[in-house]
Structure 1
Amino acid sequence: MSYAIIGFGNIGQALAKAFARKGMEVSVATTRDPESFASAAAAIGRTVIPTKLADAVKADTTFLAVRFEQHPDVAKALPTWQGKTIVDVTNAYGVPPEKLGGQPSSRFVAQAFSGARLVKGFNHLPAAVLDQDPAVHGGRRVVFLASDDDAAAAKIGSLAENLGFAPIKLGGLSEGGLLVHARGNSWGQLIFKDLIKFDG
């Protein structure tokens, strides 16, 4: 299983640190040349591999950690995303609901990534929190996942556990997904909730 993070701002780097903490290899890419962020990637860890966008999108699972407005540009990197899983980490705060056709932001994103299985996740925490070790006071930091594809949600749930998080599945994009998405001037009710799960 191969992993990539598209976008290497604060959120992309926080995700890269999660992989590095567990010694798991992940490709990182932006629309820029990989040399421009190679030193930042190296500072995180040797398993964080700066890559060209065209190579990063070959990964089985891609974390979309760009600004919401940039997702169509990433989607154009492949003619079809069949067989691939996209983890939508974007937030469409400030994007008018009518521009999204009144639908959840992740469903709008899914339309751009033709053929992909999409999971909304890892987007509800600010970068400064996501950046921290998810092991907290003997518990694990919660990440919420929502998807219309149960198998994809289960796969990303397993990955989240491998990264040290406690995944909580919220159901489909039109139900649970609304709790963790942003659009217009409103945030979902679970966004910014930093929750810890204790296994007992």
Structure 2
Amino acid sequence: MEFGIIGAGTIGKGIAGHLVTAGHRVVLSNSRGPDTLSDTVARLGPLATAGTVAEAAAAEMVFLAVRWLDIPAALADVSSWDGRILVDTSNHIVGPTPRDHADLGPETGSEFVARHAPGARVVKAFNTLYAQYIVPDPRHAEGRQLLFYAGDDADAKADFHAVADEIGFAPVDAGSLREGGRLMQVGGGPLSALHALKQD
């Protein structure tokens, strides 16, 4: 499977590092263009390349790792996803602290993302973990880092589960984008910022 990443901040680069270590090809993109990512892909090695957002979005599984306010612009140039998997790592934070989050009403963050990504099979993941639990190797002597995920498409969730397991996390299905998304959401979701290990 080939992977794309939209957003090359700490989370995007951390996920890219895990995928490259597992032997996968990754296309990284950001809002400033491929030329600004030359140092990043050089550090990641020959399996990583820099591309446009459209090129990253053409992969079989794409990780969205941009700030909440940047999501509409980041997805604007992808007119249709044609059933490709979009893994939403975002939290709906609009200020300097996790308490500064957007009022989504009855909608969850990933339902908002799905509206901006027509045709994508959206899976919510990584948003419950602080960066320091995502970037390093998730395998520890005491166990593997739990990784909650949610989605409405069973096949997309199964594919994501397999990838998350391969790169070292202990994936846990939290349910649908609506119900599981609420459990994982900042601002009251009981799984948000729950950092735990699974003993194998």
Report the TM-score when normalising by structure 1: 0.91
SS in 1 for 2:58: coil
Structure 1: which 5+ residue stretches go unaligned?
none
Q: Distance in 2 between matches of 1:22 and 1:152?
A: 20
Once the 2 structures are TM-superposed, how far is the Cα of residue 87 of structure 1 from its aligned partner? 0.3
Once the 2 structures are TM-superposed, how far is the Cα of residue 187 of structure 1 from its aligned partner? 4.8
Q: Mapping of 1:1-200 within 5 angstroms?
A: 1-93=1-93, 94-97=100-103, 100-137=104-141, 139-182=143-186, 186-199=187-200
SS in 2 for 1:133: coil
Once the 2 structures are TM-superposed, how far is the Cα of residue 139 of structure 1 from its aligned partner? 2.0
Once the 2 structures are TM-superposed, how far is the Cα of residue 72 of structure 1 from its aligned partner? 1.2
The aligned amino acid for 1:153 is K
Once the 2 structures are TM-superposed, how far is the Cα of residue 68 of structure 1 from its aligned partner? 1.2
Once the 2 structures are TM-superposed, how far is the Cα of residue 155 of structure 1 from its aligned partner? 1.0
Cα 1:82/1:150, change in 2 over 3 Å? same
The aligned amino acid for 1:149 is D
Q: Distance in 2 between matches of 1:33 and 1:187?
A: 36
Q: Distance in 2 between matches of 1:20 and 1:81?
A: 24
Q: Distance in 1 between matches of 2:76 and 2:181?
A: 25
Alignment RMSD (CA, Å)? 1.5
CA offsets per residue over residues 28-76 of structure 1, 9 Å max, x none?
Answer: 1001121212112211332221112221111111100001111112222
Once the 2 structures are TM-superposed, how far is the Cα of residue 23 of structure 1 from its aligned partner? 2.3
Q: Distance in 2 between matches of 1:54 and 1:85?
A: 14
Q: Distance in 1 between matches of 2:31 and 2:102?
A: 26
The aligned amino acid for 1:130 is I
Once the 2 structures are TM-superposed, how far is the Cα of residue 8 of structure 1 from its aligned partner? 0.5
Structure 2: which 5+ residue stretches go unaligned?
94-99
Moved over 6 A (4+): none
